[in-house]
Amino acid sequence: MKPNFLSITFWFNIYDDHQKFIDIINNNLVNEFTEIKVYDQDDNNLFKPKLTAFNRQNNNNLTFSKVNLQYNMELIDINKFSDIALKIYEMLADNGIVVMHTAIYAGVELVDNNALKTITQNLLNSSVSGQNLIDVNLHFGIKCEDAFYKIISLMNKRQIELPRKYDSLNREIPIPLISWMDATLKDEVIDISYEINDKLLFDTEKNYHTELAYLNKMLYILKNNLEDDINSLINKGKI
């Protein structure tokens, strides 16, 4: 089971020296990110990215706002993802940026021609999973080792292809106005999001911040538990 998307978000206290952050990236991650795009610095939205560092060769990117840094990987290599995540953490620590808490996210798609049935047969009782059910979206929050939250969401999804259509004036008809009678069903999939974070510790321990040992533990859970956790939930209805 291989994720099609990985992401890690480090949260920290307000940091608004974007120029210094550009220097930090260039001094530490120059081999990973070849270009940096800077956005409007006068926008006071704390969560809006102030810059994005990216690499056109692999679509990986890093975004920086005043309160978080997020690294995204699309061409998946979990070991490399972990290495870069640790390098980013050390980069932040070396520059006096304390990580308050951290969240790691994985996106997974499983091709399944009976996606709806596969999800419902072990997770919903028969009175809910009746003949009229056409879609399902389930969300589970799980306490893990009295330290972390695991958050698993899954839904059935149809991947369809709609033809381009034009009206009598040769204007392209918008997709919402094209009937699914004209669609080609490419695949049915189970779309899964899997998150592990240390927000439990942040919410229960005074002056908590993400230490390297906790980050390593979360990365270990991602690499070693993701497949078993998902299979157990879908196939056995067990968390």
Report pLDDT digits (tens) over 9-32.
999 999 888 788 888 888 888 788
The whole-number pLDDT of residue 49 equals 85
DSSP conformational letter for 174: P
> In the beta sheet, which residues pair with residue 52?
37, 63
Query: In one letter, which amino acid is 43?
Result: D
SS3 10: strand
Q: Which residues of the chain have pLDDT under 70?
A: 41, 56, 75, 129-131
The whole-number pLDDT of residue 161 equals 83
The whole-number pLDDT of residue 41 equals 67
Q: Which residues have CB under 8 Å from 223's CB, separation 6+?
A: 78, 79, 82
